[in-house]
A and B are shown apart, each in its own frame.
Chain A
Amino acid sequence: MIEFPVLSLLTFLPLIGALLILTIRGSEEIVARNSRWAALWVSGTTFFVSLYLLFQFDGTSAEFQFVETIDWFPALGLSYTMGIDGISLFFVLLSAFLTPICVLASWTAVKTRVKEYMIAFLILETFMIGTFCALDTILFYIFFEGVLIPMFLIIGIWGGKRRVYSAYKFFLYTLLGSVLMLVALLTLYVQTGTTSIPELMEDPVGRDLQIWLWLAFFASFAVKMPMWPVHTWLPDAHVEAPTAGSVILAGVLLKMGGYGFLRFSLPMFPEASEFFAPMVFWLSVVAIIYTSLVALVQEDMKKLIAYSSVAHMGYVTLGIFTATVQGIEGAIFQMISHGLISGALFLCVGVVYDRLHTREIARYGGLVKNMPKYATVFMIMVLGSVGLPGTSGFVGEFLTLLAAFQVDTIIAAFATTGIILGAAYMLMLYRKVVFGEQVNKDAAAMSDLNPREFWYFVPLVVLVLWLGVQPGMVMDKVAPSVDKLITQYESALPLHAEGTLAEEELEE
């Protein structure tokens, strides 16, 4: 029996939707209205299909599931192989979950070229989901890189004042990293004769080659992540992108870097990963502290959140390269949680930006009086970002720090200061925007969340709180894949294995 290709359906449903929207004709107003509804329906349907994955996914297995293979490029031995394991499952869900919210968030904010905008978003969704499902290195690369096209257009066409500069910077920075990865992928292919990700994970190449390949992959994922010091494209891109663009950027695109580390760097180059881990730790710590300090002095709300993203991603890289169960599970959880929280924070900025058309913190104040619902949602998200226990933000940060503490206490100590700094800048932002005097009349006259806005915040708030108290929902499904990853990783390290053996003998 041929299994139903649910991953392909999920991946290409948005693309089919985009083609449908392409055929919409009529006056500008009708086209805009129909495109919005069509995009909402398509992305909503995609989300429901993705829920099917969640319920059908076998959480006890570490194997790739829903695997489908088509002999796509036999001349080069490339195949179209899709499949997910516990690590990728939640990224697929996150992408499918955030896209309809983005469509809703752009409902009235995007006024020009609505049709093209919705098409770009749906194509973007196809590439995002494809990236997380691909089990062939080249297929992965195609999806990974294809993301640049719609995102470049979204920032460049619908962005703010400096959109051209930001779009370029985003595109060229990420492209520069990615092409090095392409050379590494080719080298890997030439050396091993396979492009299958599961096969490459089973059988790492020699150590010297690993070092070079690791660096090439690092160039790509570190830019995407982004890690200090190659993070500078992110604040620009975030500030200039339309609200929904920022949500996707922070919510999903950044996660591609972390996912890449987990899918490629760690399992395929274990020895190199171990070799470079200290460097990654220090880069992460610098990112956490430095970008937190930078965030403290920002006057632009989006920029502040953008820098906080870099800091939060620092915990992710820290956790991943500890190569411990807590570290990796924490990193994955942190990515999911950050996707929800930072997405919601950008939406919060979007709400007030739509009303006042400025992101300057000083232009707001005292919003709690005229926007109580907004203040509540914003507070939950701010506290989530700070990492308050009870929100999803806490779980990820706590686990990664726990793992870091086991590996290196100094690193952990430095990284923990980031939590304090994080609380400082987020609470400062909240105080200035929501509390205090209502200095500006126009800000004081803003209306509270309308029903559309309210309803797209509801699922985000629910998830952030629910994951905060019930992290097991994610962890249980992630755990087997992470265990397998770590087992493979450790067995590939000859020295490490001998070391533990010797210790055990001593104890006897």
Chain B
Amino acid sequence: MSFNPSDLIPILPELFLAVAGMVLLVIGALTGNHKTIFIGKAVLCSFVIAALILLGVDWNHQTVLNEMLVMDQFAGFLKLLVLIGLVASVALSLQYLEQIQTLRFEYPVLILFSGIGMMLMLSANDLLSLYVGLELQSLSLYVLAAIRRDHLRSAEAGMKYFILGAISSGMLLFGASILYGFTGTTNFEGIAASFEAGLTPGALIGMVFILAGLAFKISAVPFHMWTPDVYEGAPTSVTAFFALVPKLAALGLIARLVFEALPAAQDQWMQILWLLAAASMTLGAFAGLAQNNIKRLLAYSSIGNMGYALIGIVAGTQDGVGAMIFYMTIYMIMTAGTFGLVLCMRRDGKAAEKIDDLAGLSKNSPMLAYGLAILMFSMSGIPPMAGFFGKFLIFQAAVEAEMYILAVLGVLTSVVAAYYYLRLIKVMFFDEAADPFEDEISFSRRVVILVSVLFTLLFILKPSALVDISVNAASALFAG
């Protein structure tokens, strides 16, 4: 068997990032923490370069490393999104790390390694590569959650995340081994062929375990318990990163797994995901009502949003997956801006995390208040903001698949969730002003917020392009 280096071209972005990561790690180890900002910027540049390489790579279907990894339109577009999300996360982080005196050079490097993990997940074409990618990502995330190790809540968050994450990885691995035992292969196409030949109860049990493990990663109810605590405990910049990227990668992975490896078991996984979607939407909406901490609130918001995104997969159609990608793109951009604004909530050198701390923001810093208001209206799905179109496509996919119950449940829970999004607006605009926040906002954070708000506001002018790209990306899963 001959090995030709040019076969690796489809995963060139990952390879580049891996080399960059190792080089930066060595630089960091040699120079220490005072070079963190430099390393952060270097990581930022690496992501941009990786994105450029990705754009240069052929996105048509091809497999690498004995069909371990696959590159197609789906992987290509989602990887691009992941890279954009990573750029935003790092851009949001640096100033914050300085403010909380946690300038550790591992921080940007860990984000970079988790980024490689996510890109591998999106390319996974085998249960083994799936697991390797997932673990590379997860282990980086555990450490990131606990990066403020002298800080009790951060350490607690990291610990909690690690233990629960390890259990879910265990379940996933257990499911993978059952699936391997019953189908005799770990390759997605092989599994699909074996399922085609006949569904065995054992293989279905394996599938259920794998889906449960993955549901944990996207914090779908009932595997969501870690989310509020980790969101609250982790440093806000890490929370922003958690909210932006990993779930996108995990959702992409679920979509690829169910459509490429398990199409024959569609009736079965549809029921599972249906329930996950319904439960996530409901819990995300109702549990968010009682929150006073803005990070916890956003945690429940993300749980609910995962429910909406799952509807796209449950619909089981190309349009559905396209809607899911579209929804996640818009959600990611909105979330980037929202966390950018949350990171600006600082008073007397401390982060303000209570919703009431936003009181009267419209008087103290009107620009921030209007930005956040636009994003919150968008999150609640009110036209003409971008968030409306995300929900629109998702519900359309549900209606097309004749899942009326899910669609109605979705719109009703979105009304409930609108209550807590409105609450932020109410506090900012209707309440008496509290003390102003510190007004020092770094350039990179300004850019992220501005792009996010303008995208949300002006999306209505040219909505078609993103839908076309999303549906095109989804078509890769339905090609064969």
Are A156 and B429 also in contact (CB < 8 A) when A73-B463, A142-B383 are? Answer: yes
What B residues does A141 contact at CB under 8 A? 383
What A residues does B396 contact at CB under 8 A? 76, 186, 189-190
B54 to chain A, nearest CB (A): 24
A187 contacts B by Cβ under 8 Å: yes
Closest residue of chain B to A71, judged by CB? B464
Q: How many residues of B contact A (CB 8 A)?
A: 32
Q: Are A171 and B422 in contact (CB under 8 A)?
A: yes
B193 contacts A by Cβ under 8 Å: no
Q: Are A157 and B464 in contact (CB under 8 A)?
A: no
A250 contacts B by Cβ under 8 Å: no
Closest residue of chain B to A138, judged by CB? B392
CA distance A189 to B407 in the complex (A): 14
B231 contacts A by Cβ under 8 Å: no
| The one of B384, B414, B429, B468 that contacts A146, using a Cβ cutoff of 8 Å | B384
What B residues does A183 contact at CB under 8 A? 395, 399, 404, 407-408, 411
A383 contacts B by Cβ under 8 Å: no
Q: Digit string of B444-478 for contact with A (CB within 8 Å is 1, else 0)?
A: 00000000000000001001100110010000000
Are A168 and B411 also in contact (CB < 8 A) when A75-B463, A142-B383, A182-B395 are? Answer: no
| The one of B418, B429, B430 that contacts A172, using a Cβ cutoff of 8 Å | B418
Q: Are B467 and A76 in contact (CB under 8 A)?
A: yes
| CB proximity to B under 8 Å, residues A265-315 | none
Q: Are A179 and B399 in contact (CB under 8 A)?
A: no
Q: Digit string of A165-201 for contact with B (CB within 8 Å is 1, else 0)?
A: 0011001100110011011001101100000000000
Interface-facing stretch out of A32-40, A43-51, A147-155: A147-155
In which size bucket is the chain A interface? 20 to 34
A224 contacts B by Cβ under 8 Å: no
Closest residue of chain B to A181, judged by CB? B411
Q: Are A168 and B467 in contact (CB under 8 A)?
A: no
Q: Are A186 and B383 in contact (CB under 8 A)?
A: no
A158 to chain B, nearest CB (A): 10
A499 contacts B by Cβ under 8 Å: no
A231 contacts B by Cβ under 8 Å: no
B35 contacts A by Cβ under 8 Å: no
A145 contacts B by Cβ under 8 Å: yes
| CB proximity to B under 8 Å, residues A59-96 | 72-76
Closest residue of chain A to B463, judged by CB? A73
Are A172 and B419 also in contact (CB < 8 A) when A73-B463, A75-B463, A179-B412 are? Answer: yes
A13 to chain B, nearest CB (A): 17
Q: Are A168 and B426 in contact (CB under 8 A)?
A: yes
Closest residue of chain B to A159, judged by CB? B430
A368 contacts B by Cβ under 8 Å: no
CA distance A115 to B396 in the complex (A): 39
B382 contacts A by Cβ under 8 Å: yes
CA distance A175 to B415 in the complex (A): 7
Q: Are B430 and A157 in contact (CB under 8 A)?
A: yes
28 sampled A-B residue pairs with Cβ under 8 A: A72-B463, A73-B467, A75-B464, A75-B467, A76-B467, A138-B392, A142-B460, A149-B377, A152-B422, A153-B429, A156-B425, A156-B426, A156-B429, A157-B429, A163-B430, A164-B430, A172-B415, A172-B422, A175-B415, A175-B418, A176-B412, A176-B415, A179-B415, A182-B411, A183-B395, A186-B395, A190-B399, A190-B400
Residues of A bordering B, CB below 8 Å: 72-76, 138, 141-143, 145-146, 148-149, 152-153, 156-157, 163-164, 167-168, 171-172, 175-176, 179-180, 182-183, 186-187, 189-190
